[in-house]
Amino acid sequence: MDIKAKTQRDTTFKTEVKEGLSSFPKYLSSKYFYDKKGDKLFQDIMAMPEYYLTGCEFEILATHTKTIGELFRDRENGLDLIELGAGDGKKTKLLLKYMTDNNFNFVYKPIDISENAVKLLTNNLAQEMPSLTVDAEIGEYFEVLERLKGFNKRKKVIVVLGSNIGNLLHPKAIDFLTKLKDTMLAEDLLFMGFDQKKNPQTVLDAYNDQTGITAAFNKNILTRINRELDANFDVNKFTHWESYNPESGTAKSFLIATEAMDVRIKNLDLDISFEQWETIHTEISQKYDDKTVAWLAEQAGLTIETSFTDKKGYYKDYVLRKI
Ligand code: AVI
């Protein structure tokens, strides 16, 4: 990452932390979960039995590899397979393997906010799939969208797995989808995972595991503020709380102060106080149904071509096109 981009990111982090912790009720953006420790904790989350999303999407991609791969195939000049939020690429590798084994002419372009994740994935792919052309980038979704417009010489397939869109409220999700659509031409595809509404207890368990990994993941945002902004949060005085509204399909994560306290954030020259049981809202993880996905797509000028689900119907990957 160049120095200018890093400075800009540090400034945004400071501004957003200051804004969120000075508001009432307090909030922080879940995009700040992902430092080195956060990446590792998210890997651990994805391996937990309660966090069904990863297994379900893996099942979908493993069961329908050929059908999905052939939907991606281009007949003329090859294609760019662009993945936003690539992470460790474990699921995508199923498609990458099919595509390399079946003579697709393509470049894989993984993009992730985590520098660490991008480096690991690039090194891993160089070893596991040496014939694959990889052109990775580090960046935030909204930041890289502009650059995607330049990818218009050949067919483009944009992949967003893991129900990452669920971390955005509907207006932001529509904004994100619209911006993706604006980078697409008629033959381009958007392949996107949306976690589905289901037994509310199953959702709650996925975000409130007994082993406390999700709690550690949530609290890591305070540890990061302590380290990067020279703050003195006593992380042990916060507890992780999850709620799920089955009507709206919105799961929300909070950190709750278990006692009244004052916190100093030196780099922001900011003192904040917490009352006992005061909350910091840290994340939403939206759950969807077909109607909601169709509505979001329509609002963004996209249409659903087809979708794939797992045996339990917990999760769906949708293939979207520009209207
Ligand atoms: C990355 N994102 C889609 C995950 C989710 O399910 O909202 C992050 C996560 N938060 C808690 N557990 C996992």
Q: Which atom of ligand 1 is nearest to the CA of 284?
A: 7
Pocket lining: 166 vs ligand 1, CB cutoff 6 Å: yes
What distance in Å separates the CA atoms of residue 186 and residue 76, rounded to the nearest whole number? 15
Q: Which among 28, 29, 30, 243 is the best mutation to test ligand 1's pocket, defined by most ligand atoms within 8 Å of the CB?
A: 30
**Averaged pLDDT of the chain:** 94
pLDDT at position 88, please?
A: 81
Pocket lining: 242 vs ligand 1, CB cutoff 6 Å: no
Residue nearest to atom 12 of ligand 1 (CA): 207
**Beta bridge partners of residue 315, listed in sequence order:** 195
pLDDT band at 113 (very low <50, low <70, confident <90, very high): confident
What distance in Å separates the CA atoms of residue 23 and residue 19, rounded to the nearest whole number? 6
Pocket lining: 45 vs ligand 1, CB cutoff 6 Å: yes
Question: What percent of the chain has a predicted confidence (pLDDT) above 70?
Answer: 99
What distance in Å separates the CA atoms of residue 134 and residue 126, rounded to the nearest whole number? 8
Taking the centre of ligand 1 as the mean of its atom positions, its distance from the CA of residue 291, in whole angstroms, is 22
pLDDT at position 143, please?
A: 77
pLDDT digits (tens, 9 = 90+) for 53-81: 999 999 999 999 999 999 999 878 899 99
Q: Is 103 buried (19+), middle (13-18) or exposed (0-12) by CB count in 10 A?
A: exposed
pTM, 2 dp: 0.95
Mean pLDDT of all residues in 264-293: 98
Q: Which atom of ligand 1 is nearest to the CA of 195?
A: 6
pLDDT digits (tens, 9 = 90+) for 203-253: 999 999 999 999 999 999 999 999 999 999 999 999 999 999 999 999 999
Pocket lining: 162 vs ligand 1, CB cutoff 6 Å: yes
Which stretches within the chain are classed as H helix? Answer: 3-22, 36-46, 52-63, 65-72, 92-101, 115-128, 141-148, 170-182, 200-206, 213-229, 290-299
Q: Which among 51, 197, 283 is the best mutation to test ligand 1's pocket, defined by most ligand atoms within 8 Å of the CB?
A: 283
199 to 206, 243, 245: CA distances (angstroms): 11, 13, 11
Pocket lining: 283 vs ligand 1, CB cutoff 6 Å: yes
Q: Between these two residues, 154 and 4, which has the higher pLDDT value?
A: 154
**Beta bridge partners of residue 189, listed in sequence order:** 157
pLDDT at position 87, please?
A: 78
- Among 7-11, 32-36, 78-82, 288-292, top mean pLDDT goes to 288-292
What distance in Å separates the CA atoms of residue 58 and residue 78, rounded to the nearest whole number? 25
Q: Which atom of ligand 1 is nearest to the CA of 42?
A: 13
53 to 3, 25, 174, 196, 224: CA distances (angstroms): 35, 30, 22, 9, 26
Residue nearest to atom 3 of ligand 1 (CA): 164
pLDDT digits (tens, 9 = 90+) for 95-104: 999 999 999 9
Residues 6+ apart with CB under 8 A from 199: none
Mean pLDDT of all residues in 260-271: 98
Q: Which atom of ligand 1 is nearest to the CA of 164?
A: 3
Q: CB neighbours (10 Å) of residue 304? A: 18
Pocket lining: 114 vs ligand 1, CB cutoff 6 Å: no
Is residue 187 within 8 Å of residue 157, measured between CB atoms? Answer: no
Residue nearest to atom 6 of ligand 1 (CA): 285
Residue nearest to atom 1 of ligand 1 (CA): 164
Q: Between these two residues, 274 and 151, which has the higher pLDDT value?
A: 274
pLDDT at position 147, please?
A: 80
pLDDT at position 1, please?
A: 58
Mean pLDDT of all residues in 183-199: 96
pLDDT digits (tens, 9 = 90+) for 119-133: 989 999 999 999 999
**Beta bridge partners of residue 79, listed in sequence order:** 106, 155
Coil vs helix vs strand at 304: strand
Mean pLDDT of all residues in 295-301: 98
Pocket lining: 282 vs ligand 1, CB cutoff 6 Å: no
